[in-house]
A and B are shown apart, each in its own frame.
Chain A
Amino acid sequence: MSTHEDVLSSENLPHEPEKATLEGKNKFLGFWFFLGGETVLFASLFGTYLALRNSFGNAEGTPTQELFGLELVFIMTVILLTSSLTSVYAMYHMKNHDFKKMMVWLAITVILGASFLGLEVYEFNHYVHEYGHTFTSHAFGSAFYALVGFHGAHVAFGLCWILALMFRNAKRGLNLYNAPKFYIASLYWHFIDVVWVFIFTVVYLMGKVG
């Protein structure tokens, strides 16, 4: 029977350390429950955007075809997709109990996520200053920033989360206490990418088509 000490300083990690403890299993189930809820939350924002994407009211606005540029969105998509793969690599090394390599891949994931966020800030800044496309200018603007901005906030939160885990556990090494935490954070990161797949398709690509 494993005690408290074993969990915190486990030398011989079992297969799948993220689900070896009851707490790890509960975290895993609870987090998927949360992701189901997040799906609905984003769906309400997507539905709002789809309904209002051509609503300018009495205000002057730039239609989606002229507003969006595909190059930047393509680069952002590739960056976020790659960061999803690097966090898969991090979990691969976690399963092989290689803490150092896991940290390296998590660091790469964070760098890619941060560059994605930087590009998004640049993009929003561009829309506001070049096109006067703001949150309050018309219903389309509100729906657009609510949806894409909310996703950006998720990316920012995910970055803080992974960084906090990395700093807190830097000297601890991998154990049964923190393995579930890393695993859950990587699930969250993949979910961010899932949402982005729909954002680039529904918002940018469909916006470009008209």
Chain B
Amino acid sequence: MAKDTNSNQYQDQFYKQKHKEEMKYQVITFAMMIAFTIIAFGLVAGPFSKLFVVPVILVLAGVQVLFQLYYFMHMNQKGHEMPAIMIYSGIFAAVLTILALTTITWI
């Protein structure tokens, strides 16, 4: 399997650098997710009205999930078209399911 060791060395270095760069963004993502979590808990603990808090924490959760999907699960990288189709079809069916169960089934 060892083809061209010389060019492999440069390639390895290049990829290592690239992985380091990715890792930096992932740590930033993590910091932001922690911050969002603290904000969400703070909003609930604080003296805010329900009509304000519920939509805001739902949006925060949505953003956190996108962080998780695109950075931690690497959906921002190339070759993730099929995963995107799968997960978004899943989310589509999930939204319909939740809407149906909360509005029709038990009323």
Contacts and interface: CB of A to CB of B under 8 A. Distances in A.
Q: Interface SS of chain B: helix, strand, loop or mixed? A: helix
B106 A33 contact: no
B93 A88 contact: no
Contacts of B34: 78, 81
Given A84-B68, A92-B23, A201-B61, A39 B41 contact: no
Contacts of A40: 90, 93-94, 97
Contacts of A210: 50
A146 to B, nearest CB: 13
Nearest to B60: A201
Nearest to A187: B73
A81 B37 contact: yes
A142 to B, nearest CB: 13
Contacts of B99: 47
Contacts of B50: 209-210
A190 B86 CA distance: 16
Interface residues of B, number: 51
| Most A C-beta atoms less than 10 A away, residue of B22, B69, B82, B97 | B97
Given A70-B45, A84-B68, A96-B16, 19 more contacts: A10-B1, A11-B2, A35-B86, A35-B90, A40-B93, A43-B93, A47-B101, A51-B101, A51-B105, A82-B30, A88-B26, A88-B72, A92-B19, A193-B68, A198-B61, A200-B40, A201-B40, A206-B57, A209-B53
